């Protein structure tokens, strides 16, 4: 796959040409050389649009999960016990259902693909860092039954019954990696909220790949952006700014996705490709593709906004009661079709040089 230009149209330019969109092409890939979502001026009832399908309500996939460690309870939510406090979001059933929904979201965004790197079929060892509920690792292990797949995470929230070529480990990707073998492919998805030093994690991935092996990162950017005027008086706009401020204060800024490509190149990856996708919040955007994505994004955020806020905004001196009252207003904005917010989604992959020292 050739490298794509990551330049996207500015919201101001897009706002001036909303009514002049080209006819929708269902099979067209929405990537870095495509336009941002445009507002559907003909939309009717947001939640009955036939283009949305069944994604306007929360969906959940259930699996048997084994509690290896007891969880820590705070604010009425549960959090991981291993390396307590490193990861800022909960790990309870509500959050697990959100992660399952997010899993579907990435799949649809990438046009029913689990990865974009040109890894071929002859791979033996695969690592999925910060695997969460493990859904991606399960899908990949089923696709590549001859590969040995490992998924690592701080929380033991993965399924009990998995493909025979898949194993999960409670592990911290920010510790020194000590795997007994090198990997042909390393995958990381939705790492935005995870790491203090993402570049160091990328560096460890580089060291842990075989020459010719690939690293792929898939992530949404923060803060969100807007089509048309920025609603600076909205609770949603304020929430985004508070999340950036709080995560930065805690030493894990949610603004690092923009640097993934540069960091990979600086570390030594070659043929680094960056592709852009877009997540509108809600069904305000034209076209079945964006409406379906937008419905899932909205529900994913509605399910997750409290968990994303408790520790991050709490670090700024807010009480739990103040945060929860604020979240009510943020949710209203997330469901307001006149607030046309969206997130940039970045997929970056690159290859360790064949001449690299093992």
Q: How far apart are CA 179 and CA 9, in angstroms?
A: 43
Query: How many CB atoms lie under 10 A from the CB of residue 176?
Result: 8
- Examine the pLDDT at 48 and tell me if it is beyond 90: no
What value does the mean pLDDT take over residues 7-16? Answer: 38
- How many CA atoms are closer than 13 Å to the CA of 225, on its beta-carbon side? 20
Find the DSSP H helices in 257-319.
260-267, 288-314
Higher model confidence: residue 83 or residue 172?
Answer: 172
Residue 310 has pLDDT above 70, yes or no: yes
pLDDT of 91 > 90? The answer is: no
pLDDT in tens, 315-329: 999 999 999 999 999
pLDDT above 70 covers a percentage of the chain that reads: 80
Q: How many CB atoms lie within 10 A of CB 269?
A: 23
Cα four-point dihedral sign 316, 301, 128, 352:
negative
pLDDT at residue number 39: 82
The mean per-residue pLDDT over the stretch 240-253 comes to: 95
pTM comes to 0.83
β-strand partners of 296:
none
pLDDT of residue 37: 85
Distance CA 219, CA 100 (A): 15
SS3 content of the chain, % helix, strand, coil (to 5): 30, 20, 50
73 pLDDT band, cuts 50/70/90, is: confident
pLDDT at 75: 79
Question: With 50 as the cut, is the pLDDT of residue 189 above it?
Answer: yes
Length of the chain: 358
User: What pLDDT, on the 0 to 100 scale, is given for residue 41?
Assistant: 75
What does the pLDDT read at residue 120?
Answer: 93
Q: Is the CB of residue 78 less than 8 Å from the CB of residue 71?
A: yes
Kindly state the percentage of the chain with pLDDT values over 90. 66
Residue 271: count of CB within 10 angstroms of its CB? 15
To the nearest whole number, what is the mean pLDDT of the chain? 84
Whether residue 215 contacts residue 269, with contact meaning beta carbons closer than 8 Å, is answered with: yes
Report the pLDDT value the prediction gives residue 103, as an integer from 0 to 100. 95
Does the pLDDT of residue 1 top 90, yes or no?
no
* Domains within the chain, CATH numbers bracketed: 68-352 (3.40.50.150)
Q: Which two tokens stand for residue 325?
A: 């009252």
Q: Looking at the predicted structure, is the pLDDT value of residue 23 above 80?
A: no
Give the pLDDT band of residue 83 (cuts 50, 70, 90): low
In angstroms, rounded to a whole number, what is the distance separating the alpha carbons of residues 146 and 258? 34
């Amino acid at each position: 796959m050739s490298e794509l230009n990551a330049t996207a149209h500015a919201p101001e330019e897009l706002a001036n040409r909303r009514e002049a969109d080209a006819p929708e092409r269902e099979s067209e890939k929405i990537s870095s050389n495509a336009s941002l979502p445009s507002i559907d001026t003909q939309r009717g009832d947001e939640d009955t649009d036939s283009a949305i399908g069944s994604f306007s309500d929360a969906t959940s996939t259930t699996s048997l999960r084994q509690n290896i460690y007891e969880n820590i309870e705070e604010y009425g939510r549960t959090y991981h016990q291993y390396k307590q406090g490193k990861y800022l979001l909960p790990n309870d059933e509500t959050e697990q259902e959100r992660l399952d929904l997010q899993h579907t979201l990435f799949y649809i965004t990438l046009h029913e693909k689990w990865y974009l790197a040109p890894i071929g079929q002859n791979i033996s060892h695969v690592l999925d860092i910060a695997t969460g509920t493990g859904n991606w690792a399960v899908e990949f292990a089923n696709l590549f039954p001859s590969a040995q797949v490992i998924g690592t995470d701080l929380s033991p929230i993965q399924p009990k019954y998995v493909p025979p070529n898949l194993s999960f480990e409670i592990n911290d990707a920010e510790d020194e990696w000590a795997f007994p073998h090198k990997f042909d492919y390393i995958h990381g998805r939705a790492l935005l909220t995870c790491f203090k030093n993402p570049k160091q994690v990328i560096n460890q991935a580089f060291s842990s790949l075989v020459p010719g092996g690939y690293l792929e990162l898939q992530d949404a950017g923060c803060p969100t952006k807007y089509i048309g005027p920025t609603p600076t008086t909205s609770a949603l706009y304020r929430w985004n700014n508070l999340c950036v401020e709080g995560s930065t204060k805690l030493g894990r800024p949610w603004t690092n996705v923009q640097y993934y490509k540069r960091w990979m190149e600086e570390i030594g990856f070659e043929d680094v490709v960056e592709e852009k996708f877009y997540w509108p919040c809600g069904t305000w955007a034209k076209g079945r593709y964006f409406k379906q994505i937008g419905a899932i994004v909205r529900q994913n955020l509605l399910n997750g906004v409290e968990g994303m806020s408790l520790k991050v905004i709490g670090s700024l001196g807010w009480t739990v009661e103040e945060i929860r009252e604020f979240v009510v207003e943020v949710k209203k904005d997330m469901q307001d079709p006149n607030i046309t917010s969206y997130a940039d989604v970045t997929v970056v992959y690159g290859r360790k040089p064949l001449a690299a020292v093992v």
